[in-house]
Structures are given as C-alpha cells and as structure tokens.
Amino acid sequence: FPNPPSSTHTLSVNPPIPKGTMFSRLVARQTSKAVAGKASIHSTAKQQAKVLVALYADPKTGYPPKYARDEIPVITKYDHPLFPDATTTPTPQTELPWKPGELLGCVSGELGLRKFLEDRGHTLVVTSDKDGPDSEFEKEIVDADVVISQPFWPAYITAERFAKAPNLKLVMTAGIGSDHVDLEAANKAKATVTEVTFCNSISVAEHVCMQILALVRNYIPSYKTIVDGGWNIADCVSRAYDVEGMSLGTVAAGRIGLAVLRRMAPFDMKLHYTDRHRLPAHVEEELNLTFHETAEDMYPHCDVVTLNCPLHPETEHMINDETLKLFKKGAYLVNTARGKLIDRDSIVRALESGHVAGYAGDVWFPQPPPKDHPWRSMPNHAMTPHTSGTVLSAQARYAAGVVETLECFFDGKPIRDEYLICQDGALAGVGAHSYSEGNATGGSDEATKFGGASGNV
C-alpha cells in the first residue's frame, strides 16, 4: 500500500453487527494465543488502509434474496473496434469468495470485499447513508484511504469532501461513470480515480433496447391495463407503433452506444450516430450507419434518440429547451447515461406539450431523486430506478474489477489504462479519451431530500 498510515494497536474488539444493517464495519485482526480464563482478542496487525464503501440498501424482503436462477453465463471478453486490446473482463489474482449471480451491490453484499480485505489487514466500512453533513459516509471519510461507490447509489465526492479527507488516495466507481467525483478536485489532490470499464456496458445497452421498445409499443400502459383488470385494446394501441423503418440515433457510439446500434439493427431501423471519435469505415458499412458531426445535426433526422455519452461540463444539460426544438414532433428519447445530461424541467415541458412522445431511462440527478422530482409524475415516461448496470450478471463483473484494481493499488502495480480516469494530477487512460476537465457534481446536495438513508421506500 503506497504511503500507509502509521501502525496502530487495538486492544478491544468491535461488537458484531448483524448482516443486513444499513451500516457495517470490519476490522481485520491477527488473533493472539488465547489467555486462560479470558476471551479477549489482541491485535498486533498493521492497519494498512481504511476502505469506505457506499452501497444501496438490502432488499426489503431480507438478505440474501431468493434467486431466480442457479447460474449465469460466463463472459470473458467483449468486442469493440476502437478498443481491440482492452476488452477482457476483470481478471483478479485473488480467488473470489462469491458465486457469480449473487447480490453483491447492497450493504450486506459488501461487493464481496470482506475476505479479500480481511486477509490483507485492511479496514472496511460499508454504509448506504451517504448524503449530507450528518451522514455516516461524511463521518467516515475523514480518515479514509480508499472510497468506493456505485453509479446507481453514488457517493458524491466533492471538493469539500476531498478537503476533509487528506488521506484519500483512490476513488473507485464499482461500475462505469465517474461524474459523481469532482475530477478537478481529484487532480488537485493527486488522487487516482478509476472505474470498471466495459463491466456492464452490455447490461446498459440491453436496458436501452428494452426501453425503446417499451416506449414505442406503449408497453407499460398496456401492462397496467391488465394489472388494473381492464381489456380496452383501443386505449392500449392508440399510442403504439412499430420501430421498423424508424430512424434511431445515438449520441456517442462507444461501448454502450455501438452495442445499442448492433442490437437494434435486426429491427430494420435506420441507424445514425454522432461521436467525437468516428467509427471505422467497415463498421459504418456493416451497419449502414449515417454519421453526423454534431448531435444538433443528427436530432432532426431521428424518431428515437438515445444518449450514451459520459457526463462532464461539456455535456451537462445538452438536452434543453433549445435542443429539443430540433427533435421531430413525436420523437422518443432514452437516457441511460446520466440524468444531468438533460435539463430537468425542459423534458417535462416537452412531454406535457406533446412535442416529445415519450421519455425513458434509469438515470436521475441527484440520485436518489427527491420524492417530488417531476420525472416521477410527468406524462408518457418509462423511468426506472438506476438499475440497468447493476443486474446480477453485471455485479459479478464489476465486483471482480474492484478487486483487480485494489490488488494493483495495494501492490504498487499499474492499473490497466481502460480503468483509469485520473492519475498523478491529470486525466488518464479512458478518462483522457472520454472526459473533459471540470466538475459536474454541483447540486448533488439535493439527494438529502430523498427522506431516508436506506433508499428503500
């Protein structure tokens, strides 16, 4: 571990905390030889690092849940023409103590880190209480060396939090997307920022395709008709169409955007994209893609637009009243990238006026959104909580990626470039390819309005 804190000795033992609680802690210790008549444990292990993790709460029905499947497919590699040498799934050296398909992303799941950190003598703190000055996360970050959170339940690492955490050397995203971290402040603090690139890109792409079909075919109102005991077919089909022959455009054709295009091509849609990194000609020919220099050039041609770009200062509120005027009347918009790509009230007005026929996605700002967030009640939406990239299949991969990165960090080995966002005071690796300098965390304090730390309401 680079620059470890000074050695400490602990004579007392923390009382056990039941699994499933909102807040759990482990401290790895070495057990001394038992003393007759006493049940004490004496620790002489060096406390090498404190790892603070923010995860969403356990299922209301308890942990572990009853799983629907006994196994999941094993994925070892992905294909992308722009990243031919950077598409293997995580390959940690440590034998992983969980079975792929288990729920690892909640508090009791602990990302499967307990044994790994315990064996190395580190301290782990896991909480879902992440927002506001009185949160457990805020109290614990002051002496944390490593912070980990997920895009689905992000711990916003602002400049203020960096200032409170002088030991903080590594900020990790268990998943993809580091916009919840003030990258400018991270660079000033010389903190390394990482994510697990490609771990759940296909998971998100599948969610995009599902939501495109759900919107265009009016699936959710039709399903609700059945749940409510009805059978009015005219009501169900009055807003339902085929996607065949429609034009689909993606803002960004990286790992997720290209996967969406590939999956929607068999539906005989006309495919468009815009990206600052143009795809190879053979890919454009294979999918019969139309390239546009800018998103504004692309919007008027599309019946469906999907956002698959990262959030940074250049893309914040890229969908607003002015850009929405460029959309066809009756177009659909799907956003599984980041909620702050869209001006919150602009999309509400566009749906209420009928200019946009439907909006779907699973990303909000902040996360969790306040209970009175207008996207919960606006018309013709198909929003979900931020679930696309945290299905059980994806959790196995991003948890393994966290272990791989921690191995490299603790052992002083290079972290693979496709996981790096910031290092040594500058954007690095995939971060230099995908992000711009600056901060996109402004307004994240609104997450405290959700009304509860657990997130289960």
Residues acting as catalytic residues: 200, 338, 367, 386
Sorted by sequence, the CB contacts under 8 Å of residue 111 that are 6+ apart come out as 53, 55, 104, 105, 148, 174, 399, 402
> What's the DSSP call for residue 300?
G
Burial class (CB in 10 A: 0-12, 13-18, 19+), 139: middle
Q: Distance (Å, rounded) from C-alpha 283 to C-alpha 262?
A: 10
List the beta bridge partners of residue 194: 172, 420
Q: Distance (Å, rounded) from C-alpha 78 to C-alpha 86?
A: 9
Strands 356-361 and 290-292: unpaired
List the beta bridge partners of residue 358: 332
Q: Distance (Å, rounded) from C-alpha 173 to C-alpha 200?
A: 12
Q: Distance (Å, rounded) from C-alpha 116 to C-alpha 131?
A: 27
Query: Phi and psi (nearest 5°) for 446?
Result: -65, -15
User: Mind giving me the DSSP string for 328-345?
Assistant: PTTEEEEE-S-GGGB-HH
Q: Are 380 and 359 in contact (CB under 8 A)?
A: yes
Sorted by sequence, the CB contacts under 8 Å of residue 336 that are 6+ apart come out as 204, 207, 208, 211, 256, 306, 307, 308, 361, 362, 363, 388
